[in-house]
């Protein structure tokens, strides 16, 4: 599909670390995905240099997203420029068009968006995305709204990755999140989250309209890029889940 991305962390972590992320590229391409999300935290000694991964991805003509577990704003509310520089350099070597990070500790009036604007101006050609993570500060609707409203006022070229499941982990209402943040969202991370004896767990998507992932997904434009960020076991079921997304979109459009 022309709008489905498969993040490497959807696959078994031990297999990824043992075989390397590069070993999943062919599978993802042959499953019909539009792109791949390389995960910085899963790069291992089994992976070649980033430019070699890039060559493999380009061989299959996949769109590349680079996800790095860093916070955009440090605890002192300043820009995390050192780590941003590192991941943008890595992203360029990887051939990534999008780079995804978490919000961190943004505070209006203290966090300097002019610094972020200057940084992004120096790295044109790569789109920065900020995702709601599972923390109480980085997955907070009010904090994210404050950031994106401020960024919009400053014409900061940043967009949002909306993870439909992380709101449960951070104790937020997903419907409120959609209503408030929809103007800034350009990338969806799909996952199904369930309560397992008082503990939230991420499980594979289920083909049932009552489940939250499908309701949320269908509140966004059908052409919006989306990622399958849930356990895909066995990995050969990737194609099946991509088809599930396609069928859900088709039903939504026909209703």
**pLDDT mean by block of 10 residues, the chain; 255 residues:** 92 96 97 98 94 97 98 98 98 98 97 97 96 97 98 97 95 96 97 87 80 86 94 96 82 56
Predicted local distance difference test score (pLDDT) of residue 197: 83
Predicted local distance difference test score (pLDDT) of residue 34: 97
Predicted local distance difference test score (pLDDT) of residue 210: 60
Boundaries of domain holding 169: 4-254
End-to-end CA gap in the chain:
21
Predicted local distance difference test score (pLDDT) of residue 250: 61
C-alpha dihedral sign at 187, 133, 66, 45: negative
- Whether omega before 181 lies within 30 degrees of 0, making that bond cis, reads no
Helix boundaries (H) for the chain: 13-19, 25-30, 50-59, 81-94, 113-121, 141-153, 166-169, 174-181, 212-217, 238-254
Predicted local distance difference test score (pLDDT) of residue 255: 55
Contact 230, 202 (CB under 8 A): yes
Question: Domain holding 33: CATH number?
Answer: 3.20.20.150
Q: What is the pTM of this model?
A: 0.95
Beta-carbon neighbour count of residue 219 at 10 Å?
14
Taking only the tens place, the pLDDT of each residue in 88-130 is: 999 999 999 999 999 999 999 999 999 999 999 999 999 999 9
Residue 185 is given by DSSP the state E
Beta-carbon neighbour count of residue 172 at 10 Å?
18
Residue 79 is given by DSSP the state B
**d(C-alpha 147, C-alpha 113), whole Å:** 9
Predicted local distance difference test score (pLDDT) of residue 1: 59
Give the total number of structural domains in the chain.
1
């Amino acid at each position: 599909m022309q709008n489905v991305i498969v993040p490497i962390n959807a696959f078994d972590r031990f297999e990824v670390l043992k075989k390397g992320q590069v070993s999943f590229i062919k599978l993802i391409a042959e499953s019909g995905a539009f792109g791949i999300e390389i995960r910085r935290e899963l790069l291992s000694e089994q992976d070649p240099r980033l430019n070699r991964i890039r060559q493999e991805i380009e061989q299959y003509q996949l769109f590349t997203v680079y996800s790095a577990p860093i916070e955009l704003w440090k605890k002192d509310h300043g820009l995390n420029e050192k780590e941003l520089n590192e991941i943008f350099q890595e992203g360029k070597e990887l051939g990534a068009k999008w780079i995804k990070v978490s919000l961190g500790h943004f505070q209006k009036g203290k966090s300097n968006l002019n610094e972020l604007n200057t940084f992004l101006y120096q790295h044109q050609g790569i789109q920065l995305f900020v995702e709601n993570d599972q923390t109480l500060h980085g997955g907070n609707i009010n904090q994210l709204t404050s950031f994106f409203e401020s960024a919009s006022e400053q014409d900061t070229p940043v967009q949002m990755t909306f993870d439909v499941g992380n709101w449960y982990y951070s104790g937020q209402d997903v419907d409120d999140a959609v209503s408030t943040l929809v103007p800034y969202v350009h990338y969806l991370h799909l996952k199904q989250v369930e309560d397992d004896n008082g503990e939230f767990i991420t499980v594979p998507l289920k083909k049932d309209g009552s489940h939250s992932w499908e309701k949320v997904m269908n509140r966004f434009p059908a052409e919006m890029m989306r990622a399958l960020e849930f356990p895909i076991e066995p990995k050969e079921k990737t194609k099946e889940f991509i088809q599930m997304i396609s069928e859900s979109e088709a039903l939504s459009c026909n209703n």
